Structure 1
Amino acid sequence: MLKDYRFANILAFNRLKPIKGQLQKKQDQLLSALFTPIDNSQLILFRIVFGLLIALHCLQSVNSEWVRRNFMLPSYTFTHIGMEWLQPLPGDGMLYYFYAMGVVGLLISIGLFYRFSMALFTIMWAGVYFMQKTAYNNHHYLLLLLGIMLFFLPANCANSVDAKLKPSIRKTHIPQWCIWVLILQVGIVYFYATVAKLYPDWLDGTFTREMLNKHATPTLKTLYSQKWFYLFIAYAGILFDLLVVPLMLWRRTRMLAFIASVIFHFFNKIHLGIGIFPFLALSFSILLFPPETIRRLFFRKKVVPEADVQQTNYRKRILLYFFVPYFIFQLAFPLRHWLIEGDVLWTEEGHRLSWRMMLRNRSGYSKFYVVDHATGEKKRFKLKRILTKKQIRGMQTKPDMIWQTAQKIKEEYQKEGKNISIYIDSKVSINKKPLRTLIDPNVDFAKAEWNYFTHNEWILLYK
């Protein structure tokens, strides 16, 4: 009996040998492809453009009064929950803060003190990103992620001041994975943007119709109200997000996809504004063209000798111990709303950091009522006491910001030594549908808690 058992084990092991050998071969092929040396022109040009876009964005933020409206006028900013300690610098401090980030962007572009400059920008931009969410944009999050990724990539090994000052870092090649990690990040953004659009109000053109009419000039109003046109924009948006990266990777369709990308992003820039995002999105095209094409167009004097990249343990460690966990998180985190009860389109739980871009129009109101326990008096709280008009508009339909407002009101009364309860009358409309109650009016928000990863019961579900 024992002999038969051993024989069966040996037989099973021998059968698995070819399978294990094939898996090992596939793994070796993948590693070989990831570490294949390629011309570094794509990464170098992307660094230059990325730094210039940072400088442009920071200067534009100051000149357009964006910094003043979101950081200087408010007495209190809506930070990401848990980071209430992160508040703007006093006086004109935030203006100098953005000017400093602009200078850091220029240092990144010319490749001076690259690692330090990239780390400094990432930390400073993380401060900006987590400090306020009244003017929340997905490309603010993307800038933060790109800063983290580029810190680990050798984007200063050519056409940089660093390479001139320290010739030992000068290289003409990089491992191929250095480009693929950036492409994968772009692909994740577009993929989740596609998935998020697969809901009724996008598919029947409701949202695109309202969005276009909101931003249309009088001469374009008639065109934008045509059903065929707003349905075309809706489905073109889905197809663009789904296919633009694959089509740009394929040589035969690359130029067509690039032209479509230029048209798409300039259309968004003209009609929707959305800051530097259209230019940032177009800059990703650099990564999708062959390095030889980029070198021929932008680095004509560059001489590329034989490949000089070695499969060092250092580079393998970066790929395996940073980028692999990083992408597991990037793929999993946008899915968290599926684990939370309710429709994310209504509850907003799991909406941020999930690439749910330009999906819906939320409108409505939230009224806060304070009950003084000592006198039993109930009166409406005037939000202008603690918030700007822009903050009030942004807060009224967002559950997390409504909760934060209630906590701020509670703090105001605690300073006066008063014990209070806070009740909220909040009604919200999605894409101009009838108003419905968002917040449970019977919950005392002086006691209510916020949960990041589970449903907050005081948010009423849309049934």
Structure 2
Amino acid sequence: MLNKALFKHIDNSALIVFRICFGLLCFLESVGAIFTGWVKRTLVEPDFTFNFIGFEFLQPLPGNGMYYYYAIMGVFGLFIMLGYRYRLSMVMFTVMWSATYLMQKSSYNNHYYLLMLLSGLMVFLPAHKYASLDVKLNPKLKSFSMPQWCSWVIILQLFIVYTYASLAKFYPDWLDASVIKLMMTAKRDYMLVGDLLQQDCLHYVLAYGGILFDGLIVPLLLFKPTRKYAFIVSIFFHLFNSFIFQIGIFPYLALAFSLFFFPSSSIQKIFLRNKPYYTSETVIIPKYKTPLILGFVIYFIIQIGLPLRHYFIEGDVLWTEEGHRLSWRMMLRVKNGHTTYWVQNKETGKRMNINLDNYLSPKQKRTASTKPDVIWQFAQYLKQDFQNRGEDVSVYVNSKVSVNGKPYKTLIDPEVDLANVPWNVFKHCDWILPSKED
């Protein structure tokens, strides 16, 4: 039964078309980051970046290096789309995208994380076996089929993403639509729809529509009687998000995932009319069956487990942010903060306030005012900076933060020297003060 479910060969039209879409979107994301100024603001102008903790060795290339870096990623995206040296191109894009994702947190985005995961999965998928330059150069590669697991890994990854995104919305500020109202307030100047976005009834539609969409879209796409209707709703949902929230390629990538839910015969007739349709249901057990199954079991256990870790960490994750990243907690809250840093010389006792403009870009200042892990990292940076000048200092913070428009509260214990406390990955840092709701 398991062998048939995983290794039965099915028509590969969906995967082939998805590869073309995926490569094009990787190209657009890479070059778009250059032309929209994202690379400049995030990786070129700042003196340093806030890495994911543990990846401090990853820093942007000097000078114009990151422009070339993203241009090269764009070239690999085109190679993926064309199916040219597919495996190598897919590996290189995965490595380069993962590195740039892990080297900065000021522009943290769940969609960037998803692109990293999907790129890694695509390395293992035979997406270059048709309509590719690889096949043109080596006709022996041509195939009209793929093992069924190639489709299931994409669907399972999507199910995990959407399910956790839905569950994360079950909290008071989302259920009473107050957080949606705050988000829409920033959109009041949008042409034509600005006033509409301020309507309370729309806020509730978006709040509960988001819960239902995320929680049901994958099952509804899998169920044939509801598939077309779910796809139509998906088009509206993702185009709305693209226009209102301007979240890059993700809405279009999400629509491309729909390829894996429709019959391959339909995909083939629409996009690959010259491709023979594969009708056999041959089960081919590969020699690498055991490591393949074991690898994906470990991968999906991690994917299921990571979003649960905040339940085992003391405090409200909306406040502490401990366990927030890599957990599909998408666009859940509006957070504002006012944070000041000061250092104290351990020998003389002299105290000096830090002018953040001397160290951080505007985007980094916002992040270093509300995110405890970034606040801690900046304290480490200040300590090292003063040590390089021959001073041994303590670093203190006065941080006032508001979540979802509520009154400002103290986030970080101002009596704790952040330069000399550890960051705990899987347990609560007690220098992050609890909110009154905890």
Shorter chain as normaliser: what TM range? over 0.9
Q: Deviations over 1:114-137 (max 9, x none)?
A: 111111100101111001010111
1:440 paired with 2:413, answer yes
Q: 1:185 — aligned with what? A: 157
**Per the alignment, in what secondary structure is the counterpart of residue 418 of structure 2?**
coil
1:315, 1:421 → 2: CA distance? 54
- Deviation at residue 378 of structure 1 after TM alignment: 1.6
- Counterparts of residues 26-41 of structure 1 (less than 5 Å): 29-41=1-13
Pair member with larger Rg: 1
Task: Quote the offset at 1:375 in angstroms.
Answer: 2.4
Instruction: Give the TM-score normalised by the residue count of structure 2.
Output: 0.97
**Amino acid aligned to 1:83:** F
Gaps of 5+ in 2: none
Which residue is equivalent to 1:22?
none
Distance in 2, matches of 1:275 and 1:333, equals 25
Match of residue 34, structure 2, among 62, 69, 73: 62
Corresponding residue for residue 362 of structure 2: 389
- The answer (yes or no) to whether the contact 2:334–2:404 under 8 Å persists in 1 is yes
Task: Indicate whether 1:251 and 2:204 are aligned.
Answer: no
Equivalent residue for 2:264? 291
Matched, 1:124 2:117: no
Residue of structure 1 in register with 2:75 after alignment = 103
Q: How does 1:411-450 map to 2 (within 5 A)?
A: 411-450=384-423
Structure 2 vs 1, CA of residues 435 and 155 (structure 1 numbering), >3 Å: closer, same or farther?
same
Residues 1:47 and 2:19 are matched in the alignment: yes
What is the aligned counterpart of 1:150 among 114, 122, 141? Answer: 122
Q: Tell me how far apart the structure 2 counterparts of residues 188 and 280 of structure 1 sit (CA, whole Å).
A: 16
- Corresponding residue number in structure 2 for 1:280: 253
**Does 1:399 find its partner at 2:358?**
no
Per-residue CA deviation, residues 406-452 of structure 1 (Å, 9 max, x unaligned), is 11111111011111111110010001100001000110112111111
| 8 Å contact kept, 2:400–2:410 | yes
Tell me, yes or no, if the aligned pair for 2:145 and 2:278 is still in contact at 8 Å. no
Report the CA distance between 1:340 and its aligned residue: 0.6
Query: What one-letter code is carried by the residue in structure 2 that aligns with 1:38?
Result: I
Provide the C-alpha distance between the structure 2 equivalents of 1:196 and 1:146, rounded to a whole number of angstroms: 22
TM-fit CA distance, 1:65: 0.6
1:77 aligns with 2:14: no
Give the % identical residues: 50
Q: What residue in structure 2 maps to residue 23 of structure 1? A: none
Residue 359 of structure 1 is aligned with which of 332, 335, 349?
A: 332
- Listed one character per residue, the Cα deviations across residues 14-73 of structure 1 (whole Å, up to 9, x for unaligned) are xxxxxxxxxxxxxxx233122222100011111110000000111110000100111100
Which residue is equivalent to 1:196?
168
Task: Specify the SS of the correspondent of 2:341.
Answer: strand
Cα displacement (A) at 1:221 = 4.3
Letter of the aligned partner of 2:9 in structure 1?
P
In 1, distance between residues paired with 2:121 and 2:365? 35
* Contact map agreement 2:265 2:277 (CA 8 A) in 1: no
Give the root-mean-square deviation of aligned CA atoms: 1.4
The correspondence of residues 205-224 of structure 1 with structure 2, limited to 5 A, is 205-217=177-189, 219-224=192-197
CA distance in 1, matches of 2:138, 2:390: 62
Q: Map Cα deviations across residues 356-386 of structure 1 (whole Å, 9 max, x no partner).
A: 0000011011110111223222221111222
Q: Give the superposition deviation at 1:171.
A: 1.0
Q: Does the Cα contact within 8 Å between 1:370 and 1:421 map onto a contact in 2?
A: yes
Q: Which residue among 272, 297, 318 is the counterpart of 1:324? A: 297
- Decide whether aligned partners of structure 1 residues 35 and 371 sit closer, same or farther in structure 2, where only a CA change above 3 A counts: same
Aligned with residue 241 of structure 2, among 253, 258, 268: 268
Q: Does 1:112 align with 2:76?
A: no
Q: Give the SS at the match of 1:313.
A: coil
8 A Cα contact 1:152 1:318, kept in partner: no
For residues 217 and 261 of structure 1, the distance between their equivalents in structure 2, rounded to whole angstroms, comes to 26
Q: Which residue of 2 aligns with 1:341?
A: 314
CA–CA distance in structure 2, aligned partners of residues 225 and 109 of structure 1: 41
Asked if structure 2 preserves the Cα contact closer than 8 Å seen for 1:174 and 1:309, the reply is no
SS at match of 1:441: coil
* Secondary structure of residue in 2 paired with 1:363: strand
Q: Is the 8 A contact 1:46 1:283 kept in 2?
A: yes
C-alpha separation in 2, matches of 1:304 and 1:96: 41
How far the C-alpha of 1:305 sits from its partner, in A, is 5.0
Q: Give 3-state SS (helix, strand or coil) of 1:80's partner.
A: coil
Distance 2:297 2:290 in 1: 10
* Separation (CA, whole Å) in 2 of partners of 1:172 and 1:220: 46
How far apart in 1 are the matches of 2:151 and 2:188? 38
Question: Match of 2:416, SS?
Answer: coil
Instruction: Determine if the alignment matches structure 1 residue 231 to structure 2 residue 204.
Output: yes
SS at 2:352 equivalent: strand
CA gap of 1:318–1:160, structure 2 versus 1, over 3 A, is farther
8 A Cα contact 1:171 1:308, kept in partner: no
Instruction: Output the CA distance in 2 between the equivalents of 1:290 and 1:326.
Output: 27
Shift of 1:217: 2.8
Q: Which moved more, 1:40-49 or 1:246-255?
A: 246-255
Contact 1:360 1:431 in 2 (8 A): yes
State the alpha-carbon separation in 2 of the partners of residues 315 and 359 from structure 1: 41
2: CA distance, partners of 1:180 / 1:45: 16
SS in 1 for 2:420: coil
Superposition deviation, residue 310 in structure 1: 4.6
Give, in whole Å, the separation in 1 of the partners of 2:297 and 2:110.
Answer: 23
| Kept in 1: contact 2:16–2:127 (CA 8 A) | yes
Tell me the number of residue pairs that the alignment of Structure 1 and Structure 2 aligns: 435
Name the structure 2 match of 1:137: 109
The reply on whether 1:168 has 2:131 as its aligned counterpart is: no
Establish whether residue 370 from structure 1 lines up as the match of residue 346 from structure 2.
no
SS at match of 1:446: helix
Unmatched 5+ stretches in structure 1? 1-28
Contact 1:173/1:309, CA 8 A, preserved across alignment: no
Secondary structure (helix, strand or coil) at the match of 2:299 reads helix
TM-score, length-normalised on structure 1?
Answer: 0.92
Structure 2 counterpart of 1:314, one-letter code: K
The residue aligned with 1:21 is none
Task: Assess if the C-alpha contact under 8 Å between 1:172 and 1:308 holds in 2.
Answer: no
